[in-house]
Structure 1
Amino acid sequence: MTRSFEQAVAAFSPALPLAVAYSGGVDSTALLLACARKWPGQVRAVHVHHGLQAAGDDFERHCQDFCRSLQVPLVVQKVDARHAPGQSPEAAARHARYKAFEALTLIEQAQEAIQTIAIAQHADDQIETLLLALSRGAGLPGISAMAPQWQRGGLTYCRPLLQVSRADILVWLQAQGASFIEDPSNVDERFTRNRIRARLLPALQGCFPQFRDTFARSSRHAAQAQEVLDEVAVEDLARVGVPPLLTALQAFSRPRRANVLRHWLLRVHQVTPTAAQLDELMAQIEACRTRGHQLYLKVGQGFCVRRGKALDWYNP
């Protein structure tokens, strides 16, 4: 169920001291302002300068001025967020941001290291993420959209506004008279997420006024189902071994075999196969019924191969 901005902030109880990811835009400005008021002296801001826009230096100066007015320490992390060939710009920027956030483990405030990062992603962001995942034919992990809390690189990340609409955040911030910046890239419809925001969300609002609640509920159901599959995969990987024995894999049903293979590739080798790669891998495993049958298939940046009685993966 959607919440008001005030309700979400009241329910937020992170470990302190807290760092807020602060871009200078509406959402992060509102979150930083509310947190600084709720925990005076226990909040710092971190601004990631992506180096992608000419206005980036202006954004940084705005953030410095606003944090100075709040008496909130600001850390600026400059990163190179340019994307590599075949990598989405959004993924490259996200990876660069995480690297910048993880650098905060070396920064101390009030003689205590920052361990929690608050990110101001909200209910509309959650729906956009779900629709992007559906457009790409994603499975349960993608349909689960964004988690409210998770661990990465020694830090706890929180999204306390996932049940708050952007419109409610904007109304609250305007009532405070606080200044914020508008990133022109957020309205550039060359990016799919922006087209969803500009065209699909208004249409959904007209057809299904409760769509933020109902779509988010579907994402939570998907996340719960994925948790069960992860638990089964851990048990199954213990049964088939690492590297997994081919005969043990062949004994599983096709869906269960796919589940344990995805788990093994991701947890052991940090590889996520495409749907086509996984289908072909399953077919080749099924065909490996004789001692001389070989298996060799590109998966991710490496290859799945047969080594004796087992399936292995390597990156040449």
Structure 2
Amino acid sequence: MSTPMSPAFAQAIAAFAPPLPLAVAYSGGADSSALLRACAQRWPGQVVALHVHHGLQAAGDDFLQHCQAVCQELAIPLAVAQVDARHRPGQSPEDAARQHRYAALAELARTGFAQPVRHIALAQHADDQVETLLLALSRGAGVAGLAAMSAHWQAAGIDWHRPLLAVPGQDLRYWLRSIGAAWVEDPSNADLRFTRNRIRQQLLPVLEQVFPHFRHTFARSCAHAAQAKNLLHALAEQDAAITGLPPAIAALQALSAERQSNVLRHWLLHCHGTTPSTAQLQALLVQIAACRTRGHHIQIKMGSGFVCRKGANLHWYNPQVLVQKP
């Protein structure tokens, strides 16, 4: 008889219904170990594992050996990628590792097995969602940031799933201990130089005492923000059809400042993969409002590049990319 999961964990796995086969991103840590075992238990023979060796710490070799041993024991096919996850100048180490990891996972799903896998499950849980929300609040983020992590999205030809966002992390560890399943601890998780670790170790215990149900209520706020984010995205697409992309300055001027901000963020993110700061965007709105003559010059730092005026339209460019072109 199998050891029962917590109600939240059992409900999350029962509600998760991805097309099969399913790949699980498996680091060897507690969260991904619980997700892998739960999915393999529900869909025997239909689950594969993906492991990314970041090459950032010596313990990475031990993580890989652990994952190989567990997958062999459970008869779960495992595909492994080794990446150089060092960050570029001006890029945060966490962001660099995340980008390398997602790219490697997508490539493994496409090419690591006899047949491509189009669905990948990730093990972020309720505590991770709370940490993401608190980080967004600390940066003064807008609706998109407050929506925190999505439960499902599509990118790089892959459907990505986070089925455990309503499950407390302690539930996953409790279940693993109850079934006698081992996992590996990442030494970096104890490093208080990282803000996420300080939130996890110092702030979440206090929230637990003051607001015992904070995971549930915070998740509800994230869901409300995600709804608003979707509405803003739909409005941005409607306005982009009017302004064009790159946007025409005169068409932007016919919109309210709030809609200008929304469509400009949409353009910069979806066309150029960059996100402006609030101060940068406000400076651009001032220039758009003042742009009434042919000779009006616009060139403002915007995200990782610059927005400039070219004739009747705005354009964005990254001078470093331009220099690298042959």
Q: For residue 77 of structure 2, what is the aligned residue in structure 1?
A: 73
Structure 1: distance between partners of 2:279 and 2:138: 17
Conserved? CA contact 2:79–2:112, under 8 Å = no
Q: 1:24-39, aligned counterparts within 5 Å? A: 24-39=28-43
Q: TM-score, normalised by structure 1?
A: 0.96
Q: Does structure 1 residue 262 correspond to structure 2 residue 252? A: no
Structure 1: distance between partners of 2:123 and 2:316: 38
Structure 2: distance between partners of 1:7 and 1:244: 46
Q: Deviations over 1:40-97 (max 9, x none)?
A: 1111111111111111111111111111110111111111111122211111111011
Q: For residue 22 of structure 1, what is the aligned residue in structure 2?
A: 26
Structure 2: distance between partners of 1:50 and 1:108: 17
Give the one of 207, 210, 213 matched to 1:210: 213
Q: Deviations over 1:230-287 (max 9, x none)?
A: 1111111111123322122112111111111111122222221121211111111111
In the TM superposition, residue 314 of structure 1 has moved relative to its aligned partner by 2.6
Conserved? CA contact 1:303–1:315, under 8 Å = yes
Q: For residue 159 of structure 2, what is the aligned residue in structure 1?
A: 156
Q: TM-score, normalised by structure 2?
A: 0.93
Q: For residue 312 of structure 1, what is the aligned residue in structure 2?
A: 315
In the TM superposition, residue 106 of structure 1 has moved relative to its aligned partner by 3.2
Q: Deviations over 1:189-216 (max 9, x none)?
A: 1100000000110000000001001111
Q: For residue 130 of structure 2, what is the aligned residue in structure 1?
A: 127
Q: Does structure 1 residue 91 correspond to structure 2 residue 110? A: no
In the TM superposition, residue 39 of structure 1 has moved relative to its aligned partner by 1.1
SS in structure 2 opposite 1:252? Answer: coil
Structure 2: distance between partners of 1:239 and 1:188: 49
Range moving further from structure 2, 264-273 or 68-77 = 264-273
Which one-letter code corresponds to 1:167 in the other structure? Q
Structure 1: distance between partners of 2:187 and 2:304: 35
In the TM superposition, residue 310 of structure 1 has moved relative to its aligned partner by 1.8
Which one-letter code corresponds to 1:129 in the other structure? T
Structure 1: distance between partners of 2:7 and 2:310: 54
Conserved? CA contact 2:151–2:162, under 8 Å = yes
SS in structure 1 opposite 2:217? Answer: helix
In the TM superposition, residue 7 of structure 1 has moved relative to its aligned partner by 1.7
SS in structure 2 opposite 1:53? Answer: coil
Q: Which runs of 5+ in 1 are unaligned?
A: none
In the TM superposition, residue 108 of structure 1 has moved relative to its aligned partner by 6.1
Q: For residue 5 of structure 1, what is the aligned residue in structure 2?
A: 9
Q: Does structure 1 residue 43 correspond to structure 2 residue 44? A: no
Q: For residue 61 of structure 1, what is the aligned residue in structure 2?
A: 65
Q: For residue 180 of structure 2, what is the aligned residue in structure 1?
A: 177
Q: For residue 82 of structure 1, what is the aligned residue in structure 2?
A: 86
Conserved? CA contact 2:125–2:164, under 8 Å = yes
Which one-letter code corresponds to 1:88 in the other structure? S
Q: 1:159-308, aligned counterparts within 5 Å? A: 159-308=162-311
Structure 2: distance between partners of 1:190 and 1:108: 35
Q: Which runs of 5+ in 2 are unaligned?
A: 1-5, 320-326
Which one-letter code corresponds to 1:130 in the other structure? L
Conserved? CA contact 2:306–2:317, under 8 Å = yes
- The runs of 4+ residues in structure 1 deviating greater than 6 Å are none
In the TM superposition, residue 105 of structure 1 has moved relative to its aligned partner by 4.0
